[in-house]
Amino acid sequence: MYLAKVNYKEEDVIHVLTELLKTIINDNTVIICIGTDRCIGDSLGPLVGTMLKNSDYKYPVYGTLDKPIHALNIYESLDCVRKKHPNATFIAIDACLGEKNNIGNIQIRKGPIHPGKGVGKTLPKIGNYSVVAIVDKIDEDSKFSFSNIRLNFVVEMSEIIATSIMLAT
């Protein structure tokens, strides 16, 4: 269920995201950022995690550029986070593939994300809420795109998400 869907170029994008995140984030919130810096399109999560950590964000953040949570370590990472924060409200952040006309949209959803789904992987769902940024179109033939994504585009969306999270607390 979409709670918000806004394009990163819209003038009030940070305000829209911040106001909604204020209703979700509480003292029991844990941010889990999914992705890897080995692929520009998939680096959004670790970029957001690093930006939050570097700003001394007051709630726990997992998944940064130096300690990413990705397909190869997701099971162990999520087990560790869940054991450490058994009753937390998890907000999962990830890049995703979508329809061409949705590229650049940032969505906040009630419910988990399905990491790797756009590239044909079956990985565990995570999050009571999810923040996803559509970074490229899905290629139905190969189930993988991420081909022409500019780093600046991913960084801009990461900054918007990180700023909105910080302003919401």
pTM: 0.93
Question: How far is residue 28 from each of residues 42, 47, 58, 87, 140, measured CA to CA in Å?
Answer: 27, 22, 11, 8, 39
Enter the tokens of residue 23. Answer: 């209703």
Q: Span 156-160, mean pLDDT?
A: 98
Task: Name the amino acid, one letter, at 76.
Answer: E
Q: What is the pLDDT of residues 96-133, one digit of tens each?
A: 999 999 999 999 999 999 887 766 777 899 999 999 99
The pLDDT assigned to 140 comes to 64
What kind of architecture, by CATH, is found in domain 2-167?
3-Layer(aba) Sandwich (3.40)
Domain ranges of the chain: 2-167
Q: Closest Cα to residue 48, out of 28, 71, 68?
A: 68
